[in-house]
């Protein structure tokens, strides 16, 4: 039981802690995770981040992976986690919001993996507080990383991804529940991804390439903890399932969407938020 409550403590299965083994869902897949490193934001023992968890779980499920990040050391740390478990991965450094770098990241990944048939776009930052405090520079920087980087990767992938490939974009519950953040640039950028996803899914459909969005809720990551430091009330937002999510919760749904188990799912947004965006 939760102390002082008649309710049972939130259930945390192995899949939500990163302890679950793989089941071969992505056997043979060649995956690029853009934003697969992790920043600690000065935290000594941060929880695993979303991009890192996706990369590690995908490798457990049989994929070979290219992990791209602006920070080469962060990408390499993810690769080291994968190889320590017997997986195969390659680190790539680059700025996904820069057109030439974005194209090179895709090309380098396809070269390293001898092709590419899975792509995760997971770049995201937040800057500015409130409409009046957000500068135009804050706005442009967030849009570049959170939207333009996704557009550039989707554009570059047209000539690289093979038929039958799958793509996921990482959004945020902030796109639908604005009370979860006070950062309008972040909220707007994440909302924009649904339009981009719908168009990309339409354009890619004739080649049997699926494009979907994973929409995390309040997730316990280093970035999430930093957000709570600036906005303590974030930790008190009631979540129907009784807990914040983990990066592994997001990774599990991402892996499903990349797999053939989701072969008839495209242009969809899947909330992974403990019911917060619907039951509130």
Active site residue ranges: 186
253 touches 25 (CB < 8 A):
no
Terminal alpha carbon distance of the chain: 23
Among residues 106, 103, 113, 244, which one has the least CA distance to residue 173? Answer: 244
How many Å apart are CA 25 and CA 200, to the nearest integer?
24
Q: What token pair was written down for 29?
A: 């897949």
How many Å apart are CA 60 and CA 250, to the nearest integer?
15
């Amino acid at each position: 039981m939760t102390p002082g409550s008649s309710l049972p403590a939130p259930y945390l299965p192995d899949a939500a802690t990163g302890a679950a083994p793989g089941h071969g869902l992505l056997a043979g897949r060649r995956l690029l995770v853009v934003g697969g490193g992790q920043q600690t934001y000065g935290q000594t023992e941060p929880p695993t981040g979303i991009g890192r968890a996706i990369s590690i779980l995908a490798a457990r499920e049989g994929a070979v992976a290219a992990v791209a990040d602006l920070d080469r050391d962060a990408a390499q740390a993810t690769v080291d986690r994968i190889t320590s478990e017997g997986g195969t991965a390659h680190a790539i450094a680059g700025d996904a919001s820069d057109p030439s770098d974005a194209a090179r990241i895709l090309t380098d990944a396809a070269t390293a993996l001898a092709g590419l048939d899975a792509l995760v776009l997971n770049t995201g930052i937040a800057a500015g507080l409130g409409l009046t405090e957000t500068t135009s520079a804050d706005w442009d920087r967030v849009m570049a990383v959170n939207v333009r980087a996704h557009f550039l990767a989707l554009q570059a992938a047209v000539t690289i991804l093979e038929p039958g490939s799958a793509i996921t974009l990482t959004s945020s519950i902030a796109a639908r529940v604005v009370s979860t953040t006070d950062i309008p640039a972040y909220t707007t950028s994440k909302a924009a991804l649904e339009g981009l996803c719908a168009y990309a899914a339409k354009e890619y459909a004739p080649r049997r390439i699926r494009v979907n969005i994973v929409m995390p809720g309040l997730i316990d990551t280093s970035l999430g903890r930093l957000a709570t430091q600036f906005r303590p009330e974030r930790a008190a937002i009631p979540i129907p399932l009784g807990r914040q999510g983990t990066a592994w919760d997001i990774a599990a749904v991402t892996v499903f969407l990349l797999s053939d188990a989701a072969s008839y799912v495209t242009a969809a947004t899947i909330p992974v938020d403990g019911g917060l965006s619907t039951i509130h």
